[in-house]
Amino acid sequence: MKSMLFAAGLATVLLFSWGAQAQDRYVEPPPVLVSPDLSAPWVMQLRSSPVLAQQRTEQAVEYRTYQRARNARERNSARRDYRPRHQMPVSGTQPAKPPQRVAFIPRASEPFPLNERSWRMSDPKWLPQVVEYETDQSPGTIVVDTRQRFLFLVLKGGKAKRYGVGVGKEGFNWTGTEKISNKRKWPDWHPPAEMIEREKAKGRILPVKMEGGPANPLGARALYLGSTLYRIHGTNAPWTIGRAVSSGCIRMRNEDVVDLYNRIPVGTNVVVK
Active site positions, annotated:
233, 249
Contact by Cβ (8 Å): 251, 234: yes
154's CB contacts (< 8 A; 6+ apart) are 133, 135, 137, 138, 139, 140, 141, 142, 143, 160
Beta bridge partners of 107: 110
Contact by Cβ (8 Å): 139, 155: yes
Conformation bin of residue 101: beta by default, left when phi > 0, alpha when psi is -120 to 50: beta
Number of H helices, E strands in the chain: 5, 11
Pairing of strands 250-251, 176-185: unpaired
Contact by Cβ (8 Å): 102, 119: no
State how far the Cα of 177 lies from the Cα of 248, in Å rounded to an integer: 14
Beta strands in 220-267 (DSSP E): 221-225, 231-233, 244-246, 250-251
Lateral strand order in the sheet of 231-233: 129-132, 159-164, 150-154, 142-145, 269-272, 176-185, 221-225, 231-233, 250-251
